[in-house]
Amino acid sequence: MGVKWLFRILLLGSLLVATNSMAADIHGRSSTQFLWFNDIFTNKTQDEIAQYLQIGVTNIDKGGKFSIYGYGRGSQDLTNGDGVNGRLYYLYLDYRDLLGKVDIRAGRQFVNIAAGNAIIDGARIDLKNVGPVALTVLGGRNVVFGLNGEISHSGDAVFGVAGSLVGFKNTDLEMGYFAKWNSGTDGPARETLGASFKQYLFNNLKLYADARYDLYGEVFSEVLAGVKYFPTPKLVLTGEWYQSFPTFDADSIFVVFAVDRYQEGVFRADYTINDRISLNAGYSRQDYGDDGMADVYQIGCRLRPVEPVTVNLAYDKRHGFNGSLDGGIIDVSYDATKSLQLAAGLQFDVYTREDIATIGHEIARKYWGGAKYKLAKDMSASFRIEDDVNRSFSNDWQGRVVFNYDF
């Protein structure tokens, strides 16, 4: 089905180009990519060519209210004979300000509210300008992608509804309900309540929180609470607490298994000294329930020693549950000319694991390099190559060559 839809979007793009004389604005990106990598499932090298097409058609009507957007991917395995694989990520019609109060999206699209998100073949309707609360209703066929394409069934569906505050300059609040049905189930396989909140105070303080409550498991599946403080324009202090509890669809076999709650507390500071030097540091306390805890320390900086060179440095240290790690990353980019940018990097980790198969320290390394060249105002080419050296691979080469055309 993904291949058929991809052909349809390509055909639609051709038809829409013919409408250019009717003053429609057609824009987007064509990205042709050649990729090579090691397939972890077959342990074979795979060469692949892929074509991405992103398209938007706006100003179709005189009022500029009607638009069409699409994004798809087609790929061909050149090595192992797997054939053509296509995916349509979205293709929808967008009509805004119907009667000055309604926005409508119809077709394949990504939908996201505080209670849940999905890719659907369906519709989203937003009701606005009716008072202090805006309403959203969405629903349709649930689109699920597997390794080789779409794996949705005819009975897979989602529905969601949300309300959000409008007209309050320093306050954002959304509350909603999200449900999912799986093929073969009589009722919802998952029902979730969700809320999202942001509050700005004193021009230098931001409070925020997000929560999702699973009605089937009768537990908060996710909770995030945080605060950002800006004592000066150059300094940002962040404190967060996060909690997650694994939940599953009602028809999943995994509902019978015991799971642990995960919690994490984070403190982070970001400081910009000037346009050439910025620093960051952070500490996280990770709680894995009965399995134990871990402490994570992070420090990094971004440097511009000379104008065309940018250097990013980061160091992590972790100790606790399931082992320890000391590692760092260096990433360097160089603007050789206005059209050419070069980049290279190294990641180096020394770690131990708490299992009987591991004795002493192990080392993992990753090297990468690449370049991007602007051929013209609307054309660019780039490549990236990297090699992983770790416990599983003595060498694991992968890379890509990309040609982009913007229209």
pLDDT of residue 1: 44
pLDDT of residue 358: 53
Q: What is the pLDDT of residues 322-366, one digit of tens each?
A: 889 999 999 999 999 999 999 999 999 998 887 655 567 889 999
Q: Final residue of a domain: which of 238, 270, 305?
A: 238
Q: Are residues 136 and 195 in the same domain?
A: yes
Q: What is the pLDDT of residues 248-259, one digit of tens each?
A: 888 888 888 888
The answer to whether the CB of 124 falls within 8 A of the CB of 136 is yes
pLDDT of residue 12: 54
Q: Are residues 40 and 108 in the same domain?
A: no
Q: Are residues 225 and 352 in the same domain?
A: no
Q: Are residues 308 and 180 in the same domain?
A: no
Residue 30 resides in a domain:
yes
> Comparing C-alpha atoms, which of 153, 70, 52, 62 is closest to residue 106?
70
Q: Are residues 140 and 233 in the same domain?
A: yes
Q: Residues near 324 by Cβ (< 8 Å), separated by ≥ 6?
A: 318, 351, 352
- Characterize 341-352 residue by residue with b for buried, 16 or more Cβ atoms within 10 angstroms of its Cβ, and e for exposed: bbbebebebebb
Spatial distance between the Cα atoms of 14 and 29, rounded to a whole number of angstroms: 14
> Which residue ranges in the chain fall short of pLDDT 70?
1-22, 81-82, 355-359
What percentage of the chain exceeds 70 in pLDDT?
93
Spatial distance between the Cα atoms of 288 and 261, rounded to a whole number of angstroms: 7
> pTM score, two decimals?
0.82
Q: Which residue segment(s) compose the domain that 14 sits in?
A: 1-91
Residue 253 resides in a domain:
no
pLDDT of residue 361: 82
The DSSP secondary-structure symbol of 128 reads: -
Q: Are residues 68 and 148 in the same domain?
A: no
